[in-house]
Copies of this chain bind each other. A is one copy, B any other.
Amino acid sequence: MPLDSPTIAKDLAARGLRLTRQRLAVIEAVTEARGSVSPIQVFDSARRRCPDLGLTTVYRTLEVLGEIGAVRRVHGPDHCEAFAAAGARHGHCVICSCCGRVSEFTECDLATVVAAAARQTGYRITEHVLQLSGICAECQAEAAQARRGTT
């Protein structure tokens, strides 16, 4: 997990950027959310830690963090501009459509799929967005419990 301050500070410094109080607050807000969050949610959460934080800064910071790979953009069928803490460098993630939690998985065997697509379409494929959504283990358990309760 590259979401520890020293690593990020280093990544920022490599671009001549700084790890400020505000940026730290944004990072922590995204990290402890352990789910995907919108810029506004980040704003609200980070503000508890850093009350004079501006929304503009949140946007700027999320962009910067996205560039250095500390934070990842999360897509979904409907919502599109959410962020989550990034773990492995090139992993994908599953988002729980019930509680919003985000989990990563690394076994990215997309190579086969990508190759097949390339063969079929003639494209040279350079990027892919794979976003899975479903129900996380806990929400499944809760749902099961609820069912038992009502039955």
Contacts and interface: CB of A to CB of B under 8 A. Distances in A.
B117 A136 contact: no
A128 B130 contact: yes
Contacts of A97: 126-127
Contact of A113 (B76, B113, B121, B125): B113
Q: This chain: how many copies in the complex? A: 2
A54 interface: no
Given A125-B132, A126-B134, 8 more contacts: A94-B117, A94-B121, A108-B113, A117-B132, A118-B134, A125-B133, A127-B133, A129-B133
Interface of A: 73, 75-77, 80-81, 92, 94, 96-97, 103-110, 112-114, 116-118, 120-137, 140
27 contacts: A73-B77, A75-B75, A75-B80, A76-B129, A77-B127, A77-B129, A80-B81, A94-B117, A105-B116, A105-B117, A105-B121, A106-B120, A107-B120, A108-B113, A109-B112, A109-B116, A110-B113, A113-B113, A114-B132, A121-B137, A123-B132, A123-B135, A123-B137, A124-B134, A125-B134, A127-B134, A129-B131
